[in-house]
Amino acid sequence: MGDLLAIAYPWIKALHIMAVISWMAGIFYLPRLFVYHVERADGRDTVFEMMEEKLYRVIMTPAMIATWLFGLCLVLIPGIVDWGSVWPWVKGAGILAMTGFHVWLGRRRQDFAAGNNRLTGRQYRMMNEVPTVLMVIIVLAVVVRF
């Protein structure tokens, strides 16, 4: 199995990067949609709810699953990860936090759909910075390999 993964390494890595880009695009955009949604006068808007639901279910969640799948394949390739270093653990913690943020966004989407949103546009703007911070941590961990 390790030999097959090693041969497929460039393909797995490319697919992992594409999945990460797709996931991150959605994770950056959904909180922005929430800002626009909550700042509408009536607070409920079926167009926003449809956009939010499709972004989460059709783009973000499959991209997150693909990111995890290809990332785990990369981890299984012998010699790719030095588990004695700090960077894979930092990256792993960042990925777990990003996944938690993804789930949190899904719950906020359900709140909007049920008419139970309690957060303001300002709060969603602030939460929109969370994936940026996590992205910086993850990319630095992988590239700098501290």
Residue 113 CA, distance from chain mean position: 21
pLDDT in 10s for each residue of the chain, 146 residues: 668 877 899 999 999 999 999 999 999 999 999 999 998 856 567 888 999 999 999 999 999 999 999 999 999 998 889 999 999 999 999 999 999 999 999 999 999 989 899 999 999 999 999 999 999 999 999 999 88
The number of residues making up the chain comes to 146
> What is d(CA 94, CA 109) in angstroms, rounded to the nearest whole number?
22
Instruction: Check residue 43 and give its pLDDT.
Output: 58
pLDDT of residue 1: 66
Within a 10 A sphere around the Cβ of 136, how many other Cβ atoms?
11
Residues 6+ apart with CB under 8 A from 66: 15, 16, 19, 22, 23
- Which pLDDT score, from 0 to 100, does residue 47 have? 87
pLDDT at position 44 is 66
pLDDT digits (tens, 9 = 90+) for 39-67: 885 656 788 899 999 999 999 999 999 99
Measured CA angle at 1 (ends 140, 97), to 5 deg: 30
Tokens of 114: 């049920």
Give the predicted TM-score (pTM) of the model.
Answer: 0.91
User: What does each C-alpha distance from 78 to 4, 71, 92, 109, 144 come to in angstroms?
Assistant: 11, 13, 18, 40, 20
